[in-house]
Amino acid sequence: MARLFGTDGIRGVAGEDLTAEFALRLGRAVGFLMDERRWERKVLIGCDTRISSPMLEWALGAGLMSMGVEVYSLGIVPTPVVAFLTRHLGFPLGCVISASHNPIEDNGIKFFDRRGMKLDDSLEDYIEELLALDENSIPVVTGTQIGRRHEAATAVDEYVRYLAEIGQDRWDGFTIVLDAAFGAASIIAPSVYTLLQATVIPLNCKPDGSRINVKCGATDPRALQQKVLEVSADMGIAFDGDADRAILVDEEGKIVDGDQILAMWGLHLLRKEMLPGKVVVGTLLSNKGLELALEREGGILHRSPVGDKYVLRDMLAKGAKIGGEQSGHIIFLDHLSTGDGILTGIMVALLMRETRKPLSALASQMTKFPQVQLNIDVRDKRAALENQKVKEELDLIAAEIEKMKGRLLVRPSGTESVIRVMTEAPDEAQARALAERAINVFREFSDSGKVTEI
């Protein structure tokens, strides 16, 4: 059976893969786990704006309450709010109903432990084992032992105050355009930046699950780029549906991604001799330009597997204080234990104010290598990757690209029957040609032959 938990919780099409019945069973399994481990029986839950989120929240909550767990609902909040409050308020477990940047029809369920960190793989595996048991194997409670549901929306004020303190002083004269992608940050992000006295221009800042991530936000910041230029803003910030990541737009209307944010903050801390071990943690997808920019200042890029939970794991192992992904998940470990798009915007704005440099100048410290990412549908990911002919062809391509000081990365998707190919080279045409050669190696393993570009 395929693993339910991917790199960011359980995801699928709501009503098809993620049904109310499944959420109920999951709640019962997690409640049994909490009882078995003798954790305090209370769970904090938040969700994004998707139409299916209330269905899954209430079904999951019913399963938890049937096991005697008290459920505290935050309502619509970004993922990092749940992570922060789980730790800050002393909950043994937090849960988010969200599929992040995925399409409208998708949804997901992910958990945080008492440290505000995503669950270890071993704990997720155990939950899957419990889900595989016969339903009668997990007894429910009755009478006054049944858990209750509590409204906890006012707790979000703690998070807002915390971020405002990090923001330090008033940002008079600083103009920010916010694209909340009709998602979880629609209300809270404008509130935070307004509290800091910035001039805030909202874009797609309505909690509308029928439009979440549609031609907007971190997955499509074109409207944000236009708005930043139109109003002469200092910066634009595009969130995804659950606001655990952000893509920025500089004052010239150019996109600033997660690798560039890691570069500007990593270099700043290196120069101040405040970067532990001189290490920044990225992923296998982090641009070669980030690695070279850090090396020029004596820094080191450590590459973790893709997924912010693995970035955090390696940050803790390396003693690093900053890490993240090209997609905009940035972890500032001095402040929070998970990626937070709102915090990322604050930290970049603080750096702009401290250095008195515009965002374009900070981002230009890193020269990006052209990068091409292609996906192809396959029947069997494992069979395709273990085929001897495939291995030999990929070795030849890898040797060729290494001569150019570039990179080839081939990996299976964690959630789909897809092989992902990424190439980097000094020249975009070379990177694309090599990516297409690598993807063609897998065509005989694909029924549809469908290739998509990220």
Tokens linked to 432: 């694309």
Residues 65 and 192 in one domain: no
Q: Which member of 52, 98, 100, 286 is catalytic?
A: 100
Residues 355 and 326 in one domain: yes
Of 234, 254, 274, which residue is a domain's last?
A: 254
| pLDDT for 415 | 64
Q: Tell me which residue has tokens 């992570």.
A: 83
100 an active-site residue? yes
| pLDDT for 449 | 85
Residues 76 and 139 in one domain: yes
Domain assignment of residue 332, given as a range: 256-342+349-363
Residue ranges of E strands in 14-69? 42-47
Whole-Å CA distances, 447 to 24, 50, 376, 390, 411: 36, 32, 10, 17, 19
Residues 111 and 30 in one domain: yes
Residues 149 and 16 in one domain: yes
Residues 283, 371: Cα–Cα separation, whole Å: 14
Residues 23 and 64 in one domain: yes
Under a CB-based contact definition with an 8 Å cutoff, are residues 435 and 372 in contact? Answer: yes
Residues 10 and 149 in one domain: yes
Residues 272, 240: Cα–Cα separation, whole Å: 32
Of 330, 363, 396, which residue is a domain's last?
A: 363
Residues 241 and 175 in one domain: yes
Percentage of residues of the chain with pLDDT beyond 70 = 99
Of 254, 281, 316, which residue is a domain's last?
A: 254
| Helix/strand/coil for 334 | coil
What is the total count of domains within the chain? Answer: 4
Residues 352, 358: Cα–Cα separation, whole Å: 6
Maximum CA extent, the chain: 70
| Helix/strand/coil for 59 | helix
Whole-Å CA distances, 18 to 25, 78, 122, 134, 228: 11, 20, 22, 19, 38
Residues 167 and 207 in one domain: yes
Residues 228, 257: Cα–Cα separation, whole Å: 16
| pLDDT for 2 | 64
**Within a 10 A sphere around the Cβ of 170, how many other Cβ atoms?**
11
| pLDDT for 135 | 80
| Helix/strand/coil for 77 | coil
Residues 9 and 138 in one domain: yes
Give backbone dihedrals phi and psi of 349, rounded to 5 degrees, phi first: -65, -40
Give backbone dihedrals phi and psi of 40, rounded to 5 degrees, phi first: -60, 135
- 226 Rama class: left (phi>0) / alpha (psi -120 to 50) / beta: alpha
Which residues, given as ranges, of the chain have pLDDT below 50?
Answer: none
Residues 162 and 152 in one domain: no
Residues 137 and 32 in one domain: yes
Domain harbouring 358, CATH code: 3.40.120.10
Domain harbouring 404, CATH code: 3.30.310.50
